[in-house]
Chain A
Amino acid sequence: MNEMSELERLRAEIPRPAAADLRAEEGRLMAAIGAADASAPGTSRARPRPRARRRTLGFGLGAGLAAGALVAGAVVVTGDPSPHGGSGTTTPHLMPVASVQLLNRAADSVRGQKELHPKPGQFLVYESQSTNLSEDNDAGRHWAYLTREKRKVWLPLDGDSTRGFIEAERLAPKAIPGEAIPPHALKEVGRRGPEKLADTDGTGGRTGYQAVSRLPTDPAKMYEHLYTGLGHDARADWDAWGRVGELLGEVYLPAAQRAALFKAASAIHGVTTTGKAADAAGRKGVAASMVDPIGAEREEYVFDPKTYDFLGTRSVVINAGKAKMPVGTVTGATAQLRVSLADQAPPV
């Protein structure tokens, strides 16, 4: 018996409902559809993109027609939950005029920064710090707190993490407002490594130095790249913003690509500037940020206010009801502390 077949058995006693069992739900859906259609001017084809409508709606309503119709409305407002916006994927993504000055400055300042020129066989060494929201349950209670870690990662130029190394130090956990730190979290504090970085994080070689060196250096092309396979809605903008973040973590972009990335990011719809921000190491800065499609948190990319060097990222709660945490709670942060080159892997 392997883990896949065990998983197939898990909760397998839940039956597939027969069509007849869903008749009431179908009736409610069709009633809601009828109502939605009747309220729409003209045919559905002539209808404007629903994303243009803005309403604030609460969650957590009971089941039934009202909840179904209302929450579906909220879904449309807060962003397209469909990962591919249908025909949107075939329409080209033309970069609009860049609008976020902070990111333009970050792009311009890239020229003045010292650049690394990795040679074959070398490792890129990333030193970073992170804060992550952790939630556990034990002895009948739920714990929510922040874990903090410093890590140093060695990655080969092809980005193959199975040939990478890691040295990490778990720092003292931090409480989030109104919550306590569980005693077991304190036991995890300490160092480990260096050891092999056997885990892959899903990005594979995609963010290795060799791969990112082939990314476009033209901002408009970089913009298109960020939107590859995405639609034309708030969800797509959010995903594109996430891709920018993916290229700012344990990734080293050559100067030309980095400048193009910041220029392209400045044109992503929905990006604004946050005057006061800080990274996971507590370094203060200014941030380019975007609110998630649910409207619960703001994702910030933090820059040094003088040099416009990228410092790190931070997620902050902006809506207590949706995030189920107080406004201002930091639910995650990173700090990119140093990038360097090494000829050899650390001894393990």
Chain B
Amino acid sequence: MSDTSLAEADDASCIERSRREPEAFAEVFRRHAPDIKRYAVRRLGGDAAEDVVAETFMAAFRQRDRYDLARPNARPWLYGIATNLMRRHVRTEVQQWRLLERTGTDPVTAPFTDRSDERISAEATRRNLAGALAALPKGHRDALLLVVWGGLSYPEVAQALGVRVGTVRSRVNRARKKLRAELGGINPMAIVSEEPVHE
């Protein structure tokens, strides 16, 4: 616990320091940009993600005076900013999911296909998931992907999205139900766990 909280306490300190010394903000970027970049690429593809990451950290820098220093870990704050910025690309995101659903070819992962390995889902599963994700209300998709891909806890997602934890829970549960229904068509014998993966 102490290791984590020490590391986490540093985000708030870095941000506080960057209010006097802007260059201290580089540390916030170094810590969080790799995860946020991967998350944004996964949702939007490389081009849009590059813009989103640049905008996220610039917006965060401009808002640093208002960062709540009582929050040692800046991760939910940064994911919240990134999520809001990604909403501008929601049509692109949905179109890409639809394309994957329809054709089985994923425009987002195409540049990375040489890395294909066992982690890649079966094609039918991918297409069904893509269809289900495209059909989700954006608030539900945000909550679900922040949990599964962003690795945020429910309270962190609540903080990132500015909604209550109960809302996050119900959005994730609804989204899961829809995904399960889509996947149900592939393997009706699949064992479904009711436990959230991250809590």
Chain A interfacial positions (CB closer than 8 Å to B)? 1-19, 22, 25-26, 28-30, 32-34, 36-37, 43-45, 47, 50, 59, 61, 63-64, 67-69, 71-72, 75-76, 80-90, 135-138, 140, 142, 199-204, 206, 229-231, 235, 239, 294, 324
Contact = CB atoms under 8 A, between A and B. Distances in A.
Nearest to A3: B179
A1 B186 CA distance: 11
| Chain B interface category by residue count | 35 or more
Contact of B98 (A15, A18, A137): A137
Interface in B49-88: 50-51, 53-55, 57-69, 77, 80-81, 84-85, 88
B65 A13 contact: no
B30 A26 contact: yes
A83 B161 contact: yes
Nearest to B194: A2
28 contacts: A1-B190, A2-B190, A4-B176, A6-B183, A7-B148, A11-B108, A14-B42, A15-B112, A29-B26, A34-B23, A71-B54, A76-B62, A76-B63, A81-B81, A82-B60, A83-B162, A84-B80, A86-B65, A88-B66, A137-B95, A137-B102, A140-B102, A200-B174, A204-B167, A206-B166, A230-B162, A231-B66, A324-B91
Contacts of A15: 38, 112, 115
Contacts of A138: 102
B59 A6 contact: no
Contact of A4 (B162, B164, B174, B197): B197
B29 A26 contact: yes
B7 interface: no
A14 B139 CA distance: 23
A278 B160 CA distance: 35
- Give the residue among A4, A63, A206, A235 with the most B Cβ atoms within 10 A: A4
Nearest to B182: A3
Contacts of B22: 33-34, 37, 44
